[in-house]
Amino acid sequence: KAGVTQTPRYLIKTRGQQVTLSCSPISGHRSVSWYQQTPGQGLQFLFEYFSETQRNKGNFPGRFSGRQFSNSRSEMNVSTLELGDSALYLCASSLASQGTYGYTFGSGTRLTVV
Partner 1 sequence: AQSVAQPEDQVNVAEGNPLTVKCTYSVSGNPYLFWYVQYPNRGLQFLLKYITGDNLVKGSYGFEAEFNKSQTSFHLKKPSALVSDSALYFCAVRDVQSSASKIIFGSGTRLSIRP
The residues of the shown chain that bind partner 1, judged by CB under 8 A, are 4, 6, 33, 35, 42-43, 45, 48, 56, 58, 90, 92, 98-108, 110
**CB 72, min distance to partner 1, A:** 18
Q: Where are the beta strands (DSSP E) in 1-114?
A: 5-7, 10-13, 19-24, 31-38, 42-50, 53-57, 64-68, 74-78, 87-94, 104-105, 109-113
Contact between 85 and 78 under an 8 Å Cβ cutoff? The reply is yes
CB of 111 to partner 1, least distance (A): 14
By C-beta, is 12 or 15 nearer to partner 1?
Answer: 12
Nearer to partner 1, 71 or 100 (CB): 100
Task: Provide, rounded to whole angstroms, the least separation between the CB of residue 99 and partner 1.
Answer: 5
> For residue 51, which phi and psi values (nearest 5 degrees)?
50, 50
